[in-house]
């Protein structure tokens, strides 16, 4: 299928930045300063500001094969791509960060071209994908590798059945780009120095066991197809999974989860077989009266360019619903004006803002986590800034397997110790689920108490009692089965 690519610029001469490295990649104006900022998408061949891409034309850059083949997966490839833009100490800082990271390195040329390499330490896109040793801080004592206990709720490998009528089908363990903050760092990507992965390869025999389980449980109506990322499935695999699920009578809804719209949108412009397979599943679903949607993950407004708009337009023109789920990340999008711009820019390109997640308690990325109080304050400022149906819900995926809860729905929240207590009646009415704010952002009294390991049980017990609950409902092994990365 031929895709018409429009490059009509929306940047006026007055708006344009002077020539230079990543000159157009400045932080966007806020809505208060410019009511139309969400409509001003980065245009042109912006990638040519990167030394390695200086002579790369549009046709080559948009080729999804080229994007995959030129992903940055090692520090030496990073240095070769950036040339003389950054000094040697920066790359040593990256090496130190990777030594402690639970996720391996993989960054697409698209994202490489959007990072402002004039300010790599402050850039919000770099923070998401490239760890630096100088930024890393010790994990919270209650951090765990599989913080959501997905494997505990997996009746067969790669199928998580936690909610009564919904299941998460993990089709594979690979992605086009690896996020530092991945909640599935126990499985996704290649092994790292800190984590030996629980691999879930794209194998039809494993998938069939998941399909059999779904067939046998008629209460399951909703399937999320994720991983990993469905971007890394072949077109025939997209068709096989989609058709297998559509043929199960009680399955009414399915969502294909891919971050490609944010990190490698060229996939939707040049991989015609893959896109057509996805669209055909959606078409067949509509004929059967079933919903097939795409869920993506854009975290910052600068990730959305003219290429993203063309990608989402292709899906929208075929009637495919696209929704966005992002994570609130410190120094990336934990600012109400940035989130307002993101929400409106998503809506502008026909993507529905769906969820904003509280950062999960995963290891190696404590520098990216925010407090629940920060999330509550930002949510208040976002609500009412646009139409209600385009306003995301702010949620926390309750550690320990409690599922998604509205951030306001805690039973108790101690802002001094950073402990919030949640219940989840539709999953386990007797269980208690706890979230923990980053210690370094707590008041001095809270930091001092967490510094003493003998205080941890008392801190948690007091929070549970303040919620009017019995500490007997706490998960077994709460203080003895935490998974840590080595401290350097």
* HEC assignment per residue over 398-446: ECCCCEEEECCCCCEEECCCCEEEEEECCCEEEEEEEEECCHHHCCHHH
DSSP labels, 246-282: HTSTT--EEEEE-SHHHH-TTHHHH-HHHHHHHHHHH
CA–CA dist 121, 130 (Å, integer) = 10
Q: What range defines the domain where residue 48 resides?
A: 41-129
CA–CA dist 173, 308 (Å, integer) = 24
CATH, residue 384: 3.20.20.70
The number of angstroms, rounded, from the C-alpha of 472 to the middle of its chain's C-alpha atoms is 33
CA–CA dist 230, 175 (Å, integer) = 8
Residue with tokens 């060229």: 266
- Considering 374, 393, 408, which residue would you say is the last residue of a domain? 408
Q: Which tokens is 433 given?
A: 């689920």
The number of angstroms, rounded, from the C-alpha of 377 to the middle of its chain's C-alpha atoms is 21
| Cβ proximity of 197 and 191 under 8 Å | yes
Q: Which tokens is 48 given?
A: 């040519």
Measured CA distances, 340 to 89, 376, 379, 405, 435 (Å): 36, 15, 10, 22, 26
CA–CA dist 245, 248 (Å, integer) = 5
CA–CA dist 25, 305 (Å, integer) = 11
- Considering 408, 431, 452, which residue would you say is the last residue of a domain? 408
CA–CA dist 355, 312 (Å, integer) = 18
- pLDDT at position 30, please? 53
Domain assignment of residue 439, yes or no? no
One domain for residues 124 and 229: no
Domain assignment of residue 481, yes or no? no
CA–CA dist 396, 414 (Å, integer) = 16
One domain for residues 125 and 170: no
- pLDDT at position 478, please? 66
CA–CA dist 134, 121 (Å, integer) = 10
Domain assignment of residue 456, yes or no? no
One domain for residues 347 and 377: yes
Q: Which tokens is 241 given?
A: 């999974």
One domain for residues 334 and 373: yes
Domain assignment of residue 400, yes or no? yes
Domain assignment of residue 271, yes or no? yes
| Cβ proximity of 343 and 390 under 8 Å | yes
CA–CA dist 303, 300 (Å, integer) = 6
One domain for residues 244 and 339: yes
Domain assignment of residue 173, yes or no? yes
- Considering 408, 428, 453, which residue would you say is the last residue of a domain? 408
Domain assignment of residue 69, yes or no? yes
One domain for residues 77 and 167: no
One domain for residues 105 and 161: no
One domain for residues 341 and 199: yes
Domain assignment of residue 161, yes or no? yes
CA–CA dist 230, 238 (Å, integer) = 8
One domain for residues 228 and 359: yes
pLDDT along the chain (488 residues), means of 10: 39 34 46 79 97 98 98 98 96 96 96 97 98 96 92 96 97 97 94 90 97 98 97 98 98 98 98 98 98 98 98 98 98 97 97 98 96 98 91 96 96 98 93 96 98 95 95 70 34
One domain for residues 305 and 170: yes
One domain for residues 74 and 199: no
Q: At a CB cut-off of 8 Å and minimum separation 6, what does 469 contact?
A: 411, 421, 423, 432
- pLDDT at position 477, please? 62
One domain for residues 111 and 219: no
- pLDDT at position 193, please? 86
Please count the residues of the chain. 488
The number of distinct structural domains making up the chain is 2
């Amino acid at each position: 299928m031929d895709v018409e690519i429009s490059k009509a610029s929306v940047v006026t001469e007055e708006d344009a930045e002077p020539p230079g490295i990543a000159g157009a990649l400045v932080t966007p104006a806020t809505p208060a300063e410019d009511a139309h900022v969400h409509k001003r998408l980065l245009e042109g061949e912006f990638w040519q500001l990167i030394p390695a891409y200086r002579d790369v034309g549009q046709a080559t850059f948009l080729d999804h094969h080229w994007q995959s083949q030129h992903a940055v997966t090692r520090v030496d490839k990073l240095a070769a791509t950036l040339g003389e833009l950054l000094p040697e100490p920066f790359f040593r800082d990256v090496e130190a960060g990777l030594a402690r990271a639970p996720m391996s390195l993989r960054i697409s040329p698209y994202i490489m071209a959007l990072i402002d390499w004039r300010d790599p330490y402050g850039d919000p896109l770099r923070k998401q994908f490239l760890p630096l040793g100088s930024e890393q801080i010790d994990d919270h004592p209650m951090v765990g590798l599989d913080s959501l206990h997905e494997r505990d709720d997996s009746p067969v490998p790669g199928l998580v059945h936690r909610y009564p009528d919904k299941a998460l089908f993990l089709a594979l363990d690979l992605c086009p780009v690896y996020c530092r903050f991945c909640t599935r760092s126990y499985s996704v990507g290649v092994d790292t120095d800190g984590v030996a992965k629980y691999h879930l390869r794209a194998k039809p025999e494993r998938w069939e066991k998941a399909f059999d389980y779904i067939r046998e449980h008629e209460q399951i109506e909703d399937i999320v197809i994720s991983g990993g990322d469905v971007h890394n499935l072949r077109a025939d695999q997209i068709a096989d999974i989609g058709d297998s699920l559509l043929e199960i009578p009680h399955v009414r809804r399915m969502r294909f989860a891919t971050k490609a719209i944010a990190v490698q949108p060229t996939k939707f412009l040049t991989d015609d077989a893959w896109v057509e397979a996805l669209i055909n599943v959606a078409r067949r679903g509509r004929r059967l009266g079933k919903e097939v949607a795409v869920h993506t993950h854009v975290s910052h407004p600068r990730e959305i360019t003219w290429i993203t708009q063309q990608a989402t337009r292709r899906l929208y023109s075929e009637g495919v619903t696209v929704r966005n789920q992002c994570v609130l990340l410190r120094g990336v999008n934990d600012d109400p004006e940035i989130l307002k711009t993101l929400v409106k820019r998503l809506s502008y390109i026909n993507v529905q803002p769906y969820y904003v997640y509280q950062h999960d308690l995963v290891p190696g990325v404590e520098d990216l986590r925010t407090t629940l109080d920060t999330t509550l304050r930002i949510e208040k400022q976002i609500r009412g800034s646009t139409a209600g149906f385009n306003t995301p819900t702010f949620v926390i995926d309750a550690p320990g397997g409690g599922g998604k809860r509205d951030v306001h729905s805690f039973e108790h929240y101690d802002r001094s110790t950073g402990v919030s207590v949640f219940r989840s009646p539709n999953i386990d009415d007797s269980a208690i689920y706890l979230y923990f704010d980053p210690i370094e952002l707590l008041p001095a009294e809270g930091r001092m108490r967490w510094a003493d390991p003998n205080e941890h049980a008392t801190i948690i017990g007091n929070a549970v009692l303040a919620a009017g609950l019995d500490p007997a409902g706490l998960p077994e092994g709460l203080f003895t089965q935490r998974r840590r990365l080595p401290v350097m």
